[in-house]
Amino acid sequence: MPENKGSVQNFFEDFQLGQVFECPAPRVLTEGDRVAYIALTGDRTPRFCDSHGLVHPLIVFHTVLGQTVRQISLNAQANLGYAEMLWKTPVCVGHEIKTSVRIIGLRENSNRKTGIVYVKTVATNQRDEIVLEYTRWVMVKKNREDVTAYLSAPVVPILADAVAPDLFMSYPPDPFNSKTTGGSFFFEDYAVGERILHIDGMTVNSSDHMSFARLYQNTARVHFDSILTGGKPLVYGGYPLSIGYAQAFNGLENRLGIVAINGGTHSNPVYAGDTLYSFTDVLDRREISARHGVLRLRLVVMKNHQPTELFLIETPDPSTGKKKYDSNVVLDLDYWELMSKQTKR
């Protein structure tokens, strides 16, 4: 009897520095994807529901992340973080996305049961133009404890704290204004240090989060199997990210789409039945052209707790003194958002 063909996958000790994987399968993004995303998240960003066929940057992100699950994270214990994420070419309806990954860092944990894999991801379109690239690190289980290749010789890449705005692609003029977006605040109206409390709450249903993960062909078993998870399938971390981003439309109506992610942390798990709320802190602002600016924003998504103007995202742990996320915080995302300028009105 041959070995079971159904369970081929990678453990920590299977990865090697410099190793490259092409990630199955090439996926075309269509009008169907635009509609499914809106139905599952409620996103209202005008640029991604009009007739120009532009695909939401977060649809591209979820598609790409889903393509990497099979080779990288089927045995992941935790998705630790993202950095240097940059959208480089707009994706339109009909474009086909292909992804490859390279192992750029490996560090075994001292418990010898897991290790951290640093993965550089590059996604291209049908013309081989890069549409998205980022580095992600995940904690992956080991299959055999006696293999210890990277315990004494860890390799950890140096990653930038933030994506520099001069790396952003250039954006053509856009047709949006207060009348088409419903919002009266433009790039000039936002101040560093300002907090925006988005007013909406969204309760997560089993079918919503599972459909969302299936849509992007993310097959990590913990999201789908109620028996494996003791009745509590874990919500794919990308779902609260997209819900929070959709909620953030209230107060950021003249946004034109996410252009880069500086860093992101899934700080606490989400399960069906949790209700998500979110707020945004304005971290930085840069003019990038006569018509556009970018805001560096911190999107915080919380569960079962409506945030306030004075809410503390992290508080010192009384025993260690180290900063620790509030137990209601499920996502802490640091990103650059493209904004229309007021002068266009």
Report the site for its own copies in 143-172 (rule: CB under 8 A): none
Report the site for its own copies in 209-248 (rule: CB under 8 A): 210-215, 217, 219, 221, 224-228, 233
Minimal distance, residue 130 CB to its own copies, in Å:
18
Return the closest-CA partner of residue 244 out of 258, 224, 229.
258
Given candidates 84, 174, 253, 332, which one binds its own copies under the rule CB under 8 A?
A: 253
Report the site for its own copies in 278-307 (rule: CB under 8 A): 279-280, 304, 306
Report the site for its own copies in 123-142 (rule: CB under 8 A): 126
- CB-hemisphere CA count at 13 Å for 6? 0
Given candidates 16, 143, 275, 315, which one binds its own copies under the rule CB under 8 A?
A: 275
Torsion of the alpha carbons at 47, 81, 191 and 249, rounded to the nearest 10: 30
Long-range contacts, 217-225 (Cβ 8 Å, 24+):
217/25, 217/27, 217/66, 217/67, 217/69, 218/62, 218/65, 218/66, 218/69, 219/69, 219/70, 219/74, 220/69, 220/73, 220/74, 220/76, 221/74
Region binding its own copies by CB under 8 A among candidate stretches 1-9, 115-123, 160-168, 335-343:
1-9
Nearer to its own copies, 149 or 188 (CB): 188
Nearer to its own copies, 158 or 310 (CB): 310
What is the phi/psi pair of residue 193, to 5°? Answer: 100, -15
Minimal distance, residue 298 CB to its own copies, in Å:
14
Minimal distance, residue 321 CB to its own copies, in Å:
29
Given candidates 113, 157, 167, 184, which one binds its own copies under the rule CB under 8 A?
A: 184
Helix (H, G, I), strand (E, B) or coil at 295: strand
Q: How many CB atoms lie within 10 A of CB 63?
A: 24
Nearer to its own copies, 169 or 228 (CB): 228
Helix (H, G, I), strand (E, B) or coil at 70: helix
Nearer to its own copies, 150 or 239 (CB): 239
d(CA 58, CA 81): 16
What does 136-150 look like in DSSP terms, one character per residue? Answer: EEEEEE-S-TT--TT
d(CA 132, CA 121): 8
Report the site for its own copies in 185-204 (rule: CB under 8 A): 185, 189-191, 193-203
Q: Read off the tokens for 84.
A: 């240097």
Q: What is the CA radius of gyration of the chain?
A: 20
CA 296, distance to chain mean position in Å, is: 15
Minimal distance, residue 151 CB to its own copies, in Å:
28
Cβ-count burial of 173 within 10 angstroms (0-12 exposed, 13-18 middle, 19+ buried)?
Answer: exposed
Report the site for its own copies in 7-26 (rule: CB under 8 A): 7-8, 22-26
Nearer to its own copies, 108 or 208 (CB): 208
Nearer to its own copies, 290 or 310 (CB): 310
Per CB under 8 A, 315 contacts its own copies? no
Per CB under 8 A, 39 contacts its own copies? yes
Report the site for its own copies in 53-92 (rule: CB under 8 A): 70-71
Return the closest-CA partner of residue 114 out of 150, 79, 141.
141
Region binding its own copies by CB under 8 A among candidate stretches 136-144, 176-184, 292-300, 334-342:
176-184
Helix (H, G, I), strand (E, B) or coil at 339: strand
Nearer to its own copies, 55 or 86 (CB): 55
Minimal distance, residue 37 CB to its own copies, in Å:
10
Per CB under 8 A, 35 contacts its own copies? yes
Region binding its own copies by CB under 8 A among candidate stretches 27-35, 164-172, 234-242, 292-300:
27-35
